[in-house]
Structure 1
Amino acid sequence: LVGNAMQLGQMPHITFTKLAKKYGNVYQIRLGCSDIVVLNGDRAIREALIQHSTEFAGRPNFVSFQMISGGRSLTFTSYSKQWKVHRKIAQSSLRAFSSANSQTKKAFEQHITAEAMELVQVFLRHSADGRYFDPAHEFTVAAANVMCALCFGRRYGHEDLEFRTMLKKLDKFGETVGAGSLVDVMPWLQSFPNPVRSVYENFKNLNEEFFAYVKDKVVQHRESFNPDVTRDMSDAIINVIEHRQDSGLTKEFVEATVTDLIGAGQDTISTIMQWILLLLVKYPDMQAKLQELIDKVVGQDRLPSTEDRSSLAYLDAFIYETMRFTS
């Protein structure tokens, strides 16, 4: 019924490493009803992911994955011809937005600037009188608002009821996704009342509610859509999927792609900002060097802009290295 699940403990990666010393770098275990192949060591992992990339490119056929983004998630759908088409269209949509008119890009940059200033004010309030605080929630709020600006062309006030409702859904997704994984490998947990089944049902309802929220926003965009004006990523995706004859995807993939962008984007952005803050605190010399560079290029009489990026190579390198180091 549970296979090797009880052996894994609180830190499965440590357990996997210990098992490799006994069974070798490639071995199989059973989690619930699923057989799992575990790879250890860079040689085995490189061989699988590079030399046999296509064979290892798929996702498990888990029931919980079908609940995310209406069952059409680019992130959680397995590798297939349709998946490759979906990825290509998502990339085309990003290019379409990046080549949008200067007014659209300037508006998006203004949203980011406003959110950054709001974040600074929140940090100042929380740290008044030398108090300590955990910035994780504040980073999540800022990242989610930036993704709303990217996908819907607007950012929310932090006390906005609609925005706070969306944030609660994003928070609960992280809390309940683990239950989805348990039910995927142990489907019998759905057969009788238990805490995992309850959380799993919450996970299911949460995804349906969040997808409905995004769908409503996309419907509003369809009603006011103008093919000559790309206001945000929703417009770009609608244009590529619904207004190009060779897209190969139905219009339902618009909502799925937008949902993926918001979910994955806010998590990635908030996580990397936490790491950046941690590394700046850990390496004050690097922090001072970055501040000196920004003061030299931007000065203290205005805010940074995208036009400054070409003159901030060290800052660019720091961000990229943080992403590499923490991934």
Structure 2
Amino acid sequence: MFGAVASLFDVHLSSLSPLLCVCVIILLVCFILSRSPAGRGDNAPPGPWGWPVIGNLPQLGKKPHVTLTQLRKKYGDVYKITLGSRQTVVLNGLYTIKQALVKQAEEFAGRPDFYSFKFIGNGKSMGFGDYGPRWKMHRRLAQNALAGCINKKTNPIEESIVSEAEVLVSNLLASNGAPVNPHNEIYLSVGNIICALCFGKRYKRDDPDFLQLIRMNDEFMAFAGAGNPVDIMPWVRFFTFRSFNTFVGILNTMTAFCVKKQKEHLDTYDPAVARDVTDLLIRAVQETPDEEKEAVGLTDEHILTTVQELIGAGFDTIASTLQWSVLFMMAYPDHQDKVYEEISSNVALTGTLDLEDMNNLPFTEACLLEIMRHSCIFPFALPHSTTKDTSLKNYHIPDKTLIFVNMWSVSHDEDLFPDPDRFDPYRFLDDTGRRIDKAKTEFFLPFGVGRRRCPGEQLAKMELFLFFATMMLKCKFESPLGVAPVIDSKYGLTLKPVDFTVVVTKRQPKDIK
């Protein structure tokens, strides 16, 4: 969002007409008056001054998560910025965020009334929908459907992940030692798990339906990552309607794709056999009494739209984290070797991993935790909104205030993680070095916290471990020509690593330097 908005104002003052200059002066005067103590309120959070119309947007730079974390040092854990015309409160630090999202959960569980949110899932989205009775029922039904598909006794999703991880390894090794960008293969494999979860089948790499799904997700993430200026400056819609219409077109195509899959499922639906999430959502539609749904305003479309949300939520986050894992292991070969040694000592090279193996692989788990902490791919989560007038840290926060939850400030907090920019898996191990220090895992929030905590957390942990451990067991990742890799991110809806290439070779027994 920040980058897209900044580009709208890349103009020189010399090009402004005299009339426009007068308008700017008037706006500036109004802005100064609005920033007077009386206008701000006695108990309003502190914060930096911003420009008229655009607020603090130009100050955020290319890495807003870093900028807002630096502002924490000056203004504290609760401060206010202005995004376009939206007064926004930024929450920083583990204890402040938990206070708001856990202890005052009802008051901070809302979603802002962003213009773009009205078009996601035809306005029936759970993740982007506001908090209330309808949301609570929708969330419960979605969680039940997801739980029914990750239960090993009823649905073999773990087997699908293990099998797909083997495919990923095979395709990476097919590069035969030539430098390769792992992005595509990782995304195809993660996409196949989403398909197995939602539609009950994995696809071949050249399947038209599968490729369409991948393409739509990439296009959606590209637009979402650039941001929708209309959400914070509604008047911008008159200047960006072509771009926004393209965004809506992508959403409509995704909806049509999922509706097609739903119809295919309805034609072969058997209430006694749940093949996937789509079947379980159909069951929820049929088994939930109409009077219960009508009482909270929940429709069948709300329930079935959950499939689209799972695709969006479970795709890019997992794939981006796995890309980071390859980059960090390439950058720190000693850690990579130690992970391999630990896994190979517990699992035969010709064997496959099981989720239960995680209990015997503390350093492997510690590496994965440190990758998630360091990369912090979702630095702000999705924006929250207050559901009523409230207060936090003695600051008054009005109803429907836009809330940014700065997760980066938690994962890079010097008090919780000394020298936070250093990649150090040992920080998650106890003093013996043989067990995960459970207390340390509570110090960062990769899946969020509170009412909006990620409902797919269990599935995500399963995918990340099985993909990561399988790659580390079967592959050796090295930097091309011995050049130290660049560890940097591209800002968007999620933080992705800057494009990189890696040399992938097959691991051999005792393959340790």
Answer yes or no: same fold by TM over 0.5: yes
Q: Which amino acid aligns with 1:134?
A: N
Q: Which amino acid aligns with 2:136?
A: K
- 2:343 aligns with 294
Q: Which amino acid aligns with 1:58?
A: G
Instruction: State how 1:99-248 maps to structure 2 within 5 Å.
Output: 99=151, 104-105=155-156, 108-126=157-175, 128=176, 130-178=177-225, 180-192=227-239, 196-245=240-289, 248=293
Instruction: Rate the CA distance shift 1:244–1:320 in 2: closer, same or farther, 3 A.
Output: farther
Over the residues paired in the alignment, what is the CA RMSD in angstroms? 2.8
Q: Which amino acid aligns with 2:245?
A: E
**Counterpart of 1:162 in 2: which secondary structure?**
helix
Q: Give 5+ residue unaligned stretches, structure 1.
A: none
Cα distance in 1 for partners of 2:62, 2:235 equals 22
Cα distance in 1 for partners of 2:189, 2:55 equals 42
Instruction: Rate the CA distance shift 1:44–1:219 in 2: closer, same or farther, 3 A.
Output: same
Cα distance in 2 for partners of 1:46, 1:244 equals 33
Q: Contact 1:147/1:262 (CA < 8 Å) preserved in 2?
A: yes
Cα distance in 1 for partners of 2:229, 2:304 equals 27
Deviation digits for residues 232-287 of structure 1, max 9, x if unmatched?
Answer: 11112221232233763432123311111111111122122123323333443443
- 2:300 aligns with 251
Instruction: State how 1:28-47 maps to structure 2 within 5 Å.
Output: 28-42=80-94, 44-47=96-99
Q: Give 5+ residue unaligned stretches, structure 2.
A: 1-52, 377-445, 447-513
Instruction: Rate the CA distance shift 1:30–1:306 in 2: closer, same or farther, 3 A.
Output: closer
Matched, 1:268 2:317: yes
**Counterpart of 2:105 in 1: which secondary structure?**
coil
Q: Which amino acid aligns with 1:199?
A: S
Cα distance in 1 for partners of 2:60, 2:224 equals 19
Q: Contact 2:78/2:92 (CA < 8 Å) preserved in 1?
A: yes
- 2:398 aligns with none
Q: Which has the larger radius of gyration?
A: 2
- 2:112 aligns with 60
Cα distance in 2 for partners of 1:118, 1:203 equals 33
Matched, 1:6 2:58: yes
Cα distance in 1 for partners of 2:171, 2:243 equals 32
Give TM-score, length-normalised by structure 2: 0.56
Q: Contact 2:282/2:304 (CA < 8 Å) preserved in 1?
A: no
- 2:129 aligns with 77
Q: Which amino acid aligns with 2:134?
A: Q
Instruction: Rate the CA distance shift 1:319–1:113 in 2: closer, same or farther, 3 A.
Output: same
Give, in angstroms, the shift of residue 315 of structure 1: 4.3
Q: Which amino acid aligns with 1:274?
A: Q
Give TM-score, length-normalised by structure 1: 0.85
Cα distance in 1 for partners of 2:179, 2:316 equals 23
- 1:26 aligns with 78
Give, in angstroms, the shift of residue 310 of structure 1: 5.7
Give, in angstroms, the shift of residue 211 of structure 1: 1.2
Identity %: 38
Instruction: Rate the CA distance shift 1:285–1:81 in 2: closer, same or farther, 3 A.
Output: same
May I ask how many residue pairs the two structures share in their alignment? 319
**Counterpart of 1:150 in 2: which secondary structure?**
helix
The answer to which structure has the higher helix fraction is 1
